[in-house]
Amino acid sequence: MAANPDTSSPDGVKTLAEIIAEHLRDSVRQHWAMPHTTTPLIAAIQGPQGSGKTTAARAVKALLEDWEGYKIVLLSLDDLYLPHDGLRSVAAAHPSNPLLNGRGHPGTHDLELGRDILERLKQRNPEPEDVIILPVFDKSLENGEGDRLPEDLGTKVEPGVELVIVEGWCLGFYPLSDQELEKHHNAVQAQGHESDAAESKRRQPYSLQDLKDINGYLKSYVEVLYPFFTCFAQIIPGPDPIALTYKWRLQQEHDMKALNGGRGMTDEQVQAFVDRYIPGYIFFADGVEKGYNTEIGVEPVLGKFPPWRGHHLRVTIGEQRNVTKVEKL
């Protein structure tokens, strides 16, 4: 392995990517130090829309390749979205649920494809004929609704992978019991989100049943994807997470349209798009740290705590995406 690098930016303050890269490097070293280890470490990075998680994940990959020479695969949960016709099928199956009218929430990803890719990536030196192609989902297609590109436009994976990084906005979210979900929903409705009213007034109304649909889909994410993740990095915006999420996601769309000739969503569509995500943060994001809520005796088959417990890094960032707090959980 290479010598420990100086991971500070010119002003002596470590960047978000540097902090996450150090966390993953420590976990990779521990992983490969275990006897008889033959499979790559699979890590997750989670953060809200526009927080810079995708940019940070790419920077983390570049840093670790530079520092340690690791062979790394980076997979975005966004690239596991169902094809456009699959997304429309999900919407048609839940015609009254605005949270499932388009990509985004649990229920709109191809979990079987994700499991197949991660299982195959665990084989560091697959047979020559077993070519792994990472899918690519183009969000600018279908008038901004997005679609998966043909397989021949995907990314081919070379053998010998040592680290797999999966990044996504809802990775680590956990479902609640029906009782706890209803209790939380009633409390949120009573509060009225007064502190966030200015930014969330355009939010579409959602019902308890809408949340139960998402809650049900989340159970499959816990069972299918989460067992792969033994290391986790979480990005938390502060001090006003919802307002920053709207602002950052709008900036992100403007940047994309500047590069692709203007294809993508209007500002109003972006606002409506983010509106649909807010319930995910409000109801399910605590699961990244806590796993299942067991206050009323819920005992899930796979255990109540996340598999990354003890290897969970939580980084709080400010409006300019500067790091304000670092915690290891």
Is the per-residue pLDDT at 197 higher than 60? no
What's the mean pLDDT when you consider all of the chain? 88
Q: Which of 250, 269, 254 is nearest to 143 (CA)?
A: 269
Asked if residues 302 and 227 have their Cβ atoms less than 8 Å apart, the reply is: yes
Q: What percent of the chain has pLDDT over 70?
A: 88
Q: Which long-range contacts (CB under 8 A, 24 or more apart) does 150-156 make?
A: 156/131, 156/132
Cα–Cα distance for residue pair 69/301, rounded to 1 Å: 38
Pairing relationship of beta strands 312-317 and 323-328 according to DSSP bridges: antiparallel
Q: Which amino acid is at 50?
A: G
Q: Which amino acid is at 203?
A: R
Residue 269 banded pLDDT, cuts 50, 70, 90:
confident
What's the average model confidence in pLDDT over 261-286? Answer: 89
Asked if residues 137 and 79 have their Cβ atoms less than 8 Å apart, the reply is: yes
Tokens of 212: 């139960």
Lowest mean pLDDT among 229-233, 297-301, 322-326: 297-301
- Classified by CATH at the fold level, domain 16-32+39-328 comes out as Rossmann fold (3.40.50)
Tokens of 2: 């290479």
Q: Which of 319, 287, 292 is nearest to 303 (CA)?
A: 292
Tokens of 48: 């809200």
Tokens of 138: 């183009």
Is the per-residue pLDDT at 14 higher than 50? yes
- Element spanning 270, H or E: helix 267-284
Ordered by start, the domain boundaries in the chain are 16-32+39-328
What's the average model confidence in pLDDT over 97-108? Answer: 95
Cα–Cα distance for residue pair 60/57, rounded to 1 Å: 5
Cα–Cα distance for residue pair 25/118, rounded to 1 Å: 20
Per-residue pLDDT tens over the stretch 136-177: 999 889 988 999 999 999 999 988 999 999 999 999 999 998
